[in-house]
């Protein structure tokens, strides 16, 4: 049986560097300025992107904290044109059902400023579809199910870090969640313990792309200091 680690195996904290107070403020401010320039885009250039950049960004996402450090994520990076075509076709079937029947009037109303519809050409245009799966459990060496904890929370954090890493690298992305998403497990041949959570569409924005005129809430609206 694999021996699990215990508190006796603790290591000193390395790599952490305390910044002088002024440097801390400057860094926090400039990171905010960087994040202010992040926008979701829905039109992508077909220009290829160096796969190494995607690998590095996924490695950054893989540094996310997770329940019991179980790292319950799998990033399936799709660049194959035929797979992208299949994903687009299946996603558009679900999206048509969403826009024509499933969505409530209230839901369609809040979506109106985004100008979305059932057509998803970005699923074929963008060089990469990073399909993010949750690993709900794993099988140990004896085939016994080991449950994972806080799975969606953990995978959500990793996705946030991936979005940030892609933006920092100068790429655009879109969080896309056609619903339901079972077709992704089927098309990509993923095992039963995995559930698709999101498609992160990644690449260069199409030249001249327009984005909706959206506001972000202010600090006072999103935070309380007690």
Q: How far is the CB of 4 from ligand IYR (least distance, A)?
A: 40
Helix (H, G, I), strand (E, B) or coil at 94: helix
Structure tokens at 39: 């926008």
Helix (H, G, I), strand (E, B) or coil at 131: strand
User: Distance between CA atoms of 98 and 115, rounded to whole angstroms?
Assistant: 15
Interface of this chain with ligand IYR, residues 151 to 180, rule: CB under 6 A? 176-178
Closer CB to ligand IYR, residue 44 or residue 98? 98
Q: Per rule CB under 6 A, is residue 116 in the interface with ligand IYR?
A: yes
According to DSSP, residue 78 is labeled E
Q: Contact region for ligand IYR (CB under 6 A) — 12-20, 109-117, 151-159, 190-198? A: 109-117
What are the distances in angstroms from CA 71 to CA 14, 18, 141, 156, 163?
21, 27, 18, 11, 17
Q: Which of 95, 132, 151, 159 binds ligand IYR (CB under 6 A)?
A: 95
Q: Per rule CB under 6 A, is residue 88 in the interface with ligand IYR?
A: no
Q: Per rule CB under 6 A, is residue 148 in the interface with ligand IYR?
A: no
Question: Which chain residues interact with ligand IYR by CB under 6 A?
Answer: 95, 98, 111, 114, 116, 176-178
């Amino acid at each position: 049986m694999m021996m699990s680690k215990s508190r006796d195996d603790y290591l000193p904290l390395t790599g952490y560097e305390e910044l002088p107070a002024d440097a801390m403020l400057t860094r926090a401010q400039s990171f905010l300025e960087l994040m202010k320039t992040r926008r979701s885009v829905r039109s992508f250039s077909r220009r290829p992107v160096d796969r190494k950049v995607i690998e590095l960004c996924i490695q950054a996402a893989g540094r996310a904290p997770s329940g019991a450090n179980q790292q319950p994520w799998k990033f399936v990076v799709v660049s194959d044109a035929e797979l992208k075509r299949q994903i687009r076709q299946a996603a558009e079937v679900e999206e048509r059902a969403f826009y024509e029947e499933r969505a409530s009037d209230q839901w369609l109303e809040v979506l109106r400023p985004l100008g979305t519809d059932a057509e998803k050409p970005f699923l074929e245009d963008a060089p990469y579809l990073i399909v993010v799966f949750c690993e709900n459990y794993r099988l140990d060496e004896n085939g016994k199910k080991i449950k994972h904890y806080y799975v969606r929370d953990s995978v959500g954090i990793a996705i946030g870090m991936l979005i940030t890493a892609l933006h920092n690298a100068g790429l655009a992305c879109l969080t896309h969640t056609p619903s339901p998403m079972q077709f992704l497990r089927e098309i990509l041949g993923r095992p039963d313990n995995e559930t698709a959570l999101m498609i992160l569409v990644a690449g260069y924005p199409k030249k001249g792309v327009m984005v909706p005129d959206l506001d972000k809430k202010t600090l006072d609206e999103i935070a309380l200091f007690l």
